[in-house]
Amino acid sequence: MVSTGFKYEDKSEKGQVFIVLILIINLFITPVGLIHSIINHINIYQMNKFKNRYGSMYEGVDLRKKMQAAFYLIFCVRRVLYVVIIFSLINFQGI
């Protein structure tokens, strides 16, 4: 195993609180805010400018329905949660 010589251990309470706050913001608050924004501004998806620019990305998705408009964002949130759960169970003996 190659050692990089870089070792970082922050055992202070402030560092741990900061890390937890950043994780909460990135994993929960940002995705919920984006989903809320997409659902409340559904009329933007009906504009021709949006359809010309991003139409191929949303091909096959009914953009008149709110939850289907947020499909890709919900998909990414589910994948991030899956990775977080798997890495949190890294020391679990049952896997």
What pLDDT does 87 receive? 78
Contact (CB, 8 A) for 25 and 64: no
Mean pLDDT of 41-69: 81
Note the pLDDT tens digit of each residue in 12-36.
677 777 877 887 787 778 778 877 8
Residue 2 lies in a domain: no
Provide the number of structural domains found in the chain.
Answer: 1
Max Cα–Cα distance, the chain, nearest Å: 55
Residue 75 lies in a domain: yes
3-state secondary structure of 9: coil
What pLDDT does 41 receive? 83
Q: What torsion, rounded to 10 degrees, do the Cα atoms 30, 57, 64, 28 define?
A: -10
Domain enclosing residue 75, as ranges: 13-88
Residue 3 lies in a domain: no
Residue 82 lies in a domain: yes
Examine the pLDDT at 5 and tell me if it is beyond 60: no
Residue 94 lies in a domain: no
Mean pLDDT of 58-76: 79
